[in-house]
Structure 1
Amino acid sequence: MTIQPAKLSDPAVRAFVTAVNAHDREGFQALLAPGATMADDGSDRDLDDWVDREIFSSNGHLDVDNESNGGRSLLAHYRNDAWGEMRTRWHFTVSDDGRISRFETGQA
């Protein structure tokens, strides 16, 4: 059973999932701290390039199955037009101002 985005515990993560699923690029960008970084399957990636390719130009969508670590770690089914659907893990680092300074994702 999936967790509705509005029920996710961490406000920054809740906003991240909501922005991804609404294809809200502007809202998504506003969630990121200056100089935010990310990794995919353990390798650091160019955040802007990855987000464009894996989320916004390929209709990315997250269905969250489970959350832990105060809502900053997720297990989710992620799908996009490029790769189809896969089970993924997500971990978020949220800065003091409530914005996401880093996220890491990969297959679960």
Structure 2
Amino acid sequence: MTIAPAKLSDPTVRAFVTAINAGDREAFFRVLTPDATMSDDGSDRDLNDWVDREIFESNGRMDVQTESSGGHGLVANFTNETWGEMRTAWRFTVADGKISRFETGQA
């Protein structure tokens, strides 16, 4: 069962998922702190490079299956034109309405 982005508990995470699914890079970066960091499968990555390659240049999309930790943990089917669909886990560090770090990897 998929959780509609509008139903996600945390408004910051909701904006993150909504921006990805809309292909809206500007809205995506508005929800991040200027010094935000991220990791993929346990390795820190260059955020701008990763986001462009894995999300915006390859039409990435998140279909959220479950949420936990007050909305700061998600399991989602993530799809893009490079890798197809994979089950992924996402963890967010949120402060003052902005995401300072997100971690993703296969679930």
Per the shorter chain, which TM-score range? Answer: over 0.9
TM-score scaled by length of structure 2: 0.99
Q: Which residue of 1 aligns with 2:79?
A: 79
Partner in structure 2 of residue 90 of structure 1: 90
Regions of 4+ moved over 3 Å? none
Match of 1:62 in 2: 62
Question: What's the % identity of the aligned pairs?
Answer: 72
CA deviation digits over 1:29-83, x for unaligned, max 9? 1010020000000000000000000000000000000000000000010000000
How many corresponding residue pairs? 107
After TM superposition, the structure 1 = structure 2 runs for residues 1-108 of structure 1, keeping only pairs within 5 Å, are 1-95=1-95, 97-108=96-107
Q: Which runs of 5+ in 1 are unaligned?
A: none
Tell me, in whole angstroms, the C-alpha distance in 1 between the residues paired with 2:28 and 2:70. Answer: 21
Residue type at the aligned position of 1:69: S
Partner SS for 1:59 = coil
- SS at 1:58 equivalent: coil
Q: Distance in 1 between matches of 2:14 and 2:25?
A: 15
**C-alpha RMSD of matched pairs (Å):** 0.4
Deviation, structure 1 residue 25: 0.5
Distance 1:34 1:81 in 2: 28
Matches of 1:50 and 1:41, distance apart in 2:
12
One-letter code aligned to 2:40? D
